[in-house]
Amino acid sequence: MKQVYNFSAGPAMLPKSVLEKAQAELLDFNGSGMSVMELSHRSKWFIDVIEAAEANLRNLMAIPDHYHVLFLQGGASQQFAMAPMNLMVKNKKADYVMTGSWSKKAYKEAQNFGEVRIVGEDTNNQIPTLTKDMFDPNADYVHITTNNTIEGTAFSELPDTGDVPIVADMSSNILSTPIDVTKFGLIYAGAQKNIGPAGLTIVIIRDDLVGQAPDSVPTMLNYQTHVKNKSSFNTPPTYSIYIAKLVFDWLLELGGLEEMEKLNRTKADLLYQALDQSQIFTAPIKAEYRSLMNVPFVSVNGDQELEAKFIAEAKQEGLETLKGHRSVGGMRASIYNAMPLAGVEKLVDFIKKFEENNR
Ligand SMILES: *Cc1c(COP(=O)(O)O)cnc(C)c1O
């Protein structure tokens, strides 16, 4: 089989050992004689899987007991509506920090459910400076996007919002570094970037924020439904949960999120350094706002032909999916947890070789 490193922004690479384990267990899970895909979500076999997935995630992220962990569907995009439907209920207002395309979508959706205010907007892809006095103390929550997948920017520290809970879209950097869960009211993430296959959405929600939704909220969109039924009110995405559990096992074996962060910093430093030294490519994001996960870069002259050539030749080398998002162009290397150091090293070598041949 051809060795490929996939730099896709999502669905993204999974650790090879996870895929091998899934392959080995594909036809016969745990002596059941059945595939995980075929097991009832009410069977002891599957209940063991979902319980282990939750226990592992709690362990990895040090999630306290007064937070619930939910395994849902609908993607992060469904959380854009579900969060306001459940949380924007006391004073019916919320503050949204605008740092990119995904924050904009979250903001737009929230406007359907209350009075939504923009607080801090990125200009030229800089994370805005946020001070406590900028936030409305009567807002039901403050929404942020911790990592901006398309722009390649990330928060390096959390804003101080006082007693107002922070709701965070962590789709593209959850599990990449340790975080203090108690600083958040609600965390959500689509799985397909740093957790597992598409079709699964992780929600981590503080206990006091559950159960406030009005009766008009549909059953499936009420967090309380999923808390009460341990994410199995209806059929959950069983196979995606199983793979996520294997990814959590892999992270624990690696030494947890401290170790993961070290590796992620090594990978990102290597790539940014190569781009900063390059004469033909540049990483446009200022150092203090750079994402560890998504690294956009462009040709210094805006030469689209050169960019297309780079992407095509990289593909020949087994460096897949380096094309930038359609809204920003250029290139983007997504280097999530599962991207091995060897993949980034190969990309860096290729950038240097390409530069020698195309100066
Ligand atoms: C990918 C992404 C989304 C959209 O996720 P879906 O699961 O496809 O709805 C939302 N927010 C961020 C930050 C993302 O990276």
CA atoms of 223 and 256, how far apart (whole Å): 28
Equal CATH topology for 5-9+255-357 and 17-253 = no
Q: Is 102 annotated as a binding residue?
A: yes
At residue 38, the pLDDT reads: 98
Indicate if the pLDDT at residue 238 is higher than 90. yes
Percentage of residues of the chain with pLDDT beyond 90? 96
* 77 Cα to the center of ligand 1, angstroms: 6
The string of pLDDT tens digits covering residues 111-144 is: 999 999 999 988 888 999 999 999 999 999 999 9
> Nearest residue CA, atom 3 of ligand 1?
76
At residue 122, the pLDDT reads: 82
Rounded mean pLDDT, 22-46: 97
Rounded mean pLDDT, 162-167: 97
Rounded mean pLDDT, 199-226: 98
* 27 Cα to the center of ligand 1, angstroms: 31
Rounded mean pLDDT, 50-67: 98
At residue 137, the pLDDT reads: 98
Cis omega before residue 214 (within 30°)? no
The structure tokens listed for 156 are 């390096």
* Nearest residue to 62 (alpha-carbon basis) of 168, 196, 187: 187
Domain 17-253: state its class.
Answer: alpha beta
At residue 2, the pLDDT reads: 86
Rounded mean pLDDT, 221-234: 98
At residue 123, the pLDDT reads: 82
Determine whether the shortest distance from the Cβ of 153 to ligand 1 is under 6 A: no
What DSSP state is assigned to residue 255?
T
Neighbours of 122 (CB within 10 A): 17
> Nearest residue CA, atom 14 of ligand 1?
171
- Partnered with residue 142 across adjacent β-strands are 95, 166
At residue 327, the pLDDT reads: 85
Contacts for 348 with CB less than 8 Å, ≥ 6 apart? 270, 271, 274
At residue 341, the pLDDT reads: 98
The runs of H, that is alpha helices, within the chain are: 16-24, 44-61, 75-87, 101-110, 223-228, 238-254, 257-277, 304-316, 341-358
Whole-number average pLDDT of the chain: 97
Instruction: List the domain boundaries for the chain.
Output: 5-9+255-357, 17-253
Determine whether the shortest distance from the Cβ of 237 to ligand 1 is under 6 A: no
Indicate if the pLDDT at residue 102 is higher than 90. yes
Q: What is the pLDDT confidence band of residue 57, given thresholds at 50, 70 and 90?
A: very high
* 171 Cα to the center of ligand 1, angstroms: 6
Domain 5-9+255-357 maps to which CATH number in 3.40.50.1820, 1.10.260.40, 3.40.50.2300, 3.90.1150.10? 3.90.1150.10
Question: Strands 5-6, 141-145: parallel, antiparallel or unpaired by DSSP?
Answer: unpaired
At residue 359, the pLDDT reads: 82
Rounded mean pLDDT, 99-114: 97
CA atoms of 330 and 275, how far apart (whole Å): 13
Can you give the length of the chain in residues?
359
Rounded mean pLDDT, 204-220: 97
At residue 167, the pLDDT reads: 98
Atom from ligand 1 closest to the CA of residue 198: 7
The string of pLDDT tens digits covering residues 289-343 is: 999 999 999 999 999 999 999 999 999 999 999 999 988 889 999 999 999 999 9
The full 3-state SS of 52-106, as one line of letters, equals HHHHHHHHHHCCCCCEEEEEECCHHHHHHHHHHHHHCCCCCEEEEEECCHHHHHH
Atom from ligand 1 closest to the CA of residue 170: 13
Neighbours of 277 (CB within 10 A): 12
At residue 328, the pLDDT reads: 86
At residue 242, the pLDDT reads: 98
